Structure 1
Amino acid sequence: MLMSRLKVATAPHHQAVEALMPVMQADLTRQGYAQVLRSLHSVVQPLESALLALPLPLAFELPRRVKAPQLARDLAALGLTAAPGASLTLPGVPEGLGALYVLEGATLGGQIIGRHLRARGITPDSGGAYFSGYGPQTGPMWRAFGAAMNSEVAPEDEARVLAGARQTFDAFGAALRAVAA
């Protein structure tokens, strides 16, 4: 199954990005959290714009999966505005699906971060909407995404999907390294 191969093949990239994500640290300040959100938005927003420009199969339900507005709402709740990200291009649908794999995986992983933030008083209404994902629909949305990936991606496109996922993990890594600097 493609989803299993993607998970294994991108594990080092995923782990590298996770290691840079400071939102679970006990000493994270509100200002530090806002910087993380701004960095995430600088990647998510242009990626989603590029994805919306691609003819993705309808099975992926892309309009339901867009999360840049949640990040913008979180930043507004913290008294900040979202800075526009750099323009990104995705060479084709397979690379776009790789990028979407990373974005959707972040939604799934964000559930753990969301619980941590809620324990610190950051709720979906006060700056934690992005990490609340689809709420109780997060699991079903992930399973639907996995089913679409496994059924819609042709075997000859898998290498390009993997390249898109790696490129996306690297973009998140670069943005989070800038926060850490």
Structure 2
Amino acid sequence: MIEELYVNKEVKILTLAQKLKLDTTTTHDSLDKTIMTKRPFADLGRYALFLAIQYRFHLAIAPLYCDSELLCLFTDLPERARLSYLKKDLLDLNADINDMKAENNLPNIDYPASLGWLYVSEGSNLGAEYLLKAAKRIGLSEEFGATHLAPAAIGRGQSWKVFTTALNAIELTHEQQSLAIDGARDAFSLVRSTVDSVFE
């Protein structure tokens, strides 16, 4: 009887990416639903507001994509940055970006927390396929107005796999993992506050 208690009892050890997903799914789903209630793809005007949200977020996290410590962990990080594409998309729509400021500057963000911020940023690109289809319905494309939604040259799935493989290979203490999760939550909160301020 005692032996039976130990039969097929395998301890499931979650990767960092899995932990981040598990602890932010509710927040992520709520944010997605909120954004879609704003009808960001109803017309070019509302889409421009959506772009403004994305631009401000990526402006805030731009320093992470050239951080020397993070570059040692993610060697392709500079190529993943989408700020320049968002700027092009806004200019394609004749939007004025001069007054667009980052919603939050992150000069003192802790290293473990930055992993959570990157997880949110890279994860949004993974799910951009649906958004790109919606953008195409209002006359945009990977070359005009929606370049930041285009998949990586190696494909969305493979790009995400490369990122999460590197992410999961990082050795973190339990406390550092908690900081990474807090970072992801903070990233989602920043986007949510930006949505609320842009879509008044």
- Alignment partner, residue 90 of structure 2: 75
TM-superposed deviation, 1:55: 1.6
Instruction: State whether structure 2 residue 150 is matched by structure 1 residue 112.
Output: no
- Per-residue CA distance 1:50-72 (angstroms, 9 max, x = gap): 45345214342211111111110
TM-aligned CA distance change 1:161 to 1:72, over 3 Å: same
C-alpha root-mean-square deviation of aligned residues, in Å? 2.1
2: CA distance, partners of 1:132 / 1:168: 22
Q: Indicate the structure with greater helix content.
A: 1
Task: Answer yes or no: is the 8 Å Cα contact 2:20–2:181 preserved in 1.
Answer: yes
Instruction: Indicate which of 172, 189, 194 corresponds to 1:154.
Output: 172
2:102 partner letter? G
Unpaired segments of 5 or more residues in structure 1?
none
**Which is greater in Rg?**
2
After TM superposition, list the pairs within 5 Å mapping 1:32-181 onto structure 2: 32-53=46-67, 55-60=69-74, 61-82=76-97, 83-89=100-106, 90-134=108-152, 136-156=154-174, 157-181=176-200
2:28 partner letter? H
1:164 partner letter? G
- Report the identity percentage: 22
Unpaired segments of 5 or more residues in structure 2?
1-14
Task: Answer yes or no: is the 8 Å Cα contact 2:41–2:47 preserved in 1.
Answer: no
Q: Which sits farther off after the overlay, 162-171 or 131-140?
A: 131-140
TM-aligned CA distance change 1:26 to 1:75, over 3 Å: closer
